[in-house]
Structures are given as structure tokens and as C-alpha cells.
């Protein structure tokens, strides 16, 4: 069974599907080892890890795709939803992006409707006119037929064009054949309900990027009608805290941080023993 087919089967299971947000081989390997079937290759997390900065459309297709291949190499059975951003150009670029991820083994890919290049500000996300957004999702759905990869259509237009336009776009994406729908920046539960209704029974995706407001639990998100939930800061923020704690320990003249794993746990997590087992057939003795 292909990765897209496996994800389709998982999406039919009851309850909220939690997709931890990963960014490299280690985060993906630990996610799989923790028992998760799926993960989200998050653009914000990749930007943080590769650039040491925020997700402001500075990451390229090549960098995201390289991160995807790292994730796949470290956790080949993990079903990955790849962040395809705006598709890196016009509808033909979108098709190239979707085909590349499909051939490489992604289970799903996110395509959004924001304008690129981004205005020189960190505030707001101006979006494409509706019909241009339609053509991008149409192109994505057509390209997905090659591999079966699922298309997650995202609209970012709520803050700049209002909830009516955002809901109209979700309905339009359903018409075009998108598999999963995503309204970014809903203002309240009523807007969430409208967006989920507009998805017409197709899975709705929820991502919590900010820690400034209460974060719904899996039970609460499921009750709202979401099928997929991912929380990019949930892995990344503790990783940042761990690095900070290690640096503070070194500045204080200590050999290790109070947060550090013991040596056995550290080696087991990285897979030293697995390497030795795999190397046995090649040892001459």
C-alpha cells in the first residue's frame, strides 16, 4: 500500500489525527519511535532549524525538499504531510512541486493561496485573487493523479479578505477536488464551524502556530469538527529550551545540563545499537 493510500485509511479511523510537526531526521525518528503514524513537515519548524529565524517565505523549495528527504530517510514508515507553501510559483510550479513530493514518497502536500513574493513586512499575508487560487489547486489536483498524493488546500485570506471569502474559497477547493481543507486564522468558533461545514465532510486541518491563546486539546479539537491537528511549537519550543539550558550549563562551567539524557538513553535514541546489529553481516572475523 502506498503512503497516500495508508494516510487515506488512517483518516477513516475515529478521532483526531495528531500530526507532530517535524523538521529533520532526529525529530522524525523520535516521532515514529513514540508511536505516531503521521507527521507534518512544518515550514515554520524547517525555517527555524535551517535559518535560525521565523517562517517569512525565505525557505526555498530545494531546502524544504532536502528536509523532507532527511525525514523520510530517518523514518521511512512515517506518513508525511509536506508543507508545499505556495507551490513556489505559478500553477506549473505547483505541479512540479506536487509531482516531486509524490515521487519521493510524501503522503500529502499543503498548497496555499498567499501572494509571492511576500511584501517586505512580517505582518499579514495578502492572497491571490480567487480564480488564480483556483488554478493553483486545480493544477495540484491534476498533478497528484500521478502518485495519489493527497492535496491539502489552505486559504490564508481570512485576515485580509474576511470570513465570507475564506469560506467561499474552501467551497471552491472542494469543487476542484482537494482532499483536506485548511482555514488559517479563524477569529472564533463560529468561523471554524463555517469552514468545517464548507469542507462538506472532507477532513479539516487545524494548526496552532501561536502560544498566545488557549490551545485546544485533541478532544476539544475533535469536538470542533477537526480531523487533523498539528502543533508546531510543541516539539520545537522544548528543543529550543533544551539548547538554551545546555548553553547556560556550559557558561556556568558545568559538563552537562540538568535536562540532558544519560549516556545510555542518548545512545539508544540515536541508534548506536541498531547500527551494530545492521553491521554484523559485514564484519570480517
Reduced to 3 states (helix: H, G, I; strand: E, B; else coil), residue 256 is: coil
Q: What percent of the chain has pLDDT over 90?
A: 88
CATH number for region 3-232: 3.20.20.60
pLDDT tens profile 41-57: 999 999 999 999 999 99
pTM: 0.95
Report the range of poorest mean pLDDT among 83-87, 219-223, 250-254, 268-272: 219-223
Structure letter (DSSP) for residue 127 = B
Rounded CA-CA distance 188/155 in Å is 16
pLDDT at 208: 67
pLDDT tens profile 106-140: 999 999 999 988 888 777 789 999 999 999 999 99
How sure is the predictor about 214, in pLDDT bands with cuts at 50, 70 and 90?
low
Grid cell for residue 231: 502543533
Helix residue ranges, H only, 42-90: 43-51, 61-74
Domain ranges (residues) in the chain: 3-232, 241-282
Whether residue 12 is predicted with pLDDT greater than 50 in this model: the reply is yes
Rounded CA-CA distance 114/155 in Å is 8
CA distances from residue 51 to 22, 47, 89 in whole angstroms, order as listed: 15, 5, 21
SS (H, E, C) 128-171: CCHHHHHHHHHHHHHHHCCCCCEEEEEECCHHHHCHHHHHHHHH
Whether 45 and 209 have beta carbons less than 8 Å apart is answered as no
Instruction: Give Cα 281 distance to the centre of its chain.
Output: 38
Rounded CA-CA distance 38/48 in Å is 21
Amino acid at each position: 500500500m502506498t503512503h497516500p493510500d495508508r494516510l487515506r485509511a488512517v483518516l477513516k479511523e475515529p478521532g483526531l489525527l495528531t500530526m507532530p510537526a517535524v523538521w529533520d531526521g532526529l525529530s522524525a525518528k523520535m516521532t515514529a519511535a513514540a508511536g505516531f503514524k503521521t507527521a507534518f513537515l512544518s515550514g515554520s519548524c524547517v525555517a527555524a532549524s535551517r535559518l535560525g529565524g521565523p517562517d517569512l517565505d525565505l525557505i526555498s523549495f530545494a531546502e524544504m525538499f532536502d528536509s523532507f528527504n532527511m525525514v523520510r530517510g530517518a523514518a521511512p514508515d512515517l506518513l508525511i504531510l509536506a508543507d508545499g507553501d505556495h507551490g513556489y510559483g505559478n500553477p506549473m510550479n505547483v505541479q512540479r512541486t506536487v509531482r516531486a513530493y509524490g515521487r519521493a514518497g510524501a503522503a500529502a502536500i499543503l498548497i496555499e493561496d498567499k501572494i509571492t513574493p511576500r511584501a517586505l513586512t512580517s505582518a499579514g499575508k495578502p492572497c491571490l485573487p480567487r480564480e488564480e487560487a483556483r488554478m493553483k489547486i486545480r493544477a495540484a489536483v491534476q498533478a497528484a493523479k500521478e502518485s495519489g498524493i493527497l492535496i491539502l488546500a489552505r486559504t490564508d485570506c481570512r485576515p485580509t479578505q474576511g470570513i465570507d471569502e475564506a469560506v467561499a474559497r474552501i467551497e471552491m477547493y472542494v469543487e476542484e477536488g482537494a482532499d483536506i481543507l485548511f482555514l488559517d486564522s479563524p477569529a472564533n468558533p463560529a468561523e471554524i464551524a463555517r469552514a468545517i461545514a464548507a469542507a462538506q465532510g472532507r477532513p479539516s486541518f487545524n494548526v496552532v502556530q501561536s502560544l498566545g491563546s488557549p490551545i485546544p486539546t485533541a478532544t476539544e479539537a475533535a469536538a470542533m469538527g477537526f480531523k487533523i491537528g498539528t502543533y508546531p511549537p510543541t516539539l520545537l519550543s522544548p528543543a529550543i529550551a533544551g539548547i538554551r539550558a545546555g548553553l547556560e550549563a556550559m557558561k556556568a562551567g558545568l559538563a552537562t545540563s540538568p535536562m540532558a539524557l544519560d549516556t545510555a538513553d542518548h545512545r539508544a535514541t540515536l541508534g548506536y545499537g541498531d547500527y551494530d546489529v545492521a553491521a554484523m553481516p559485514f564484519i570480517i572475523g
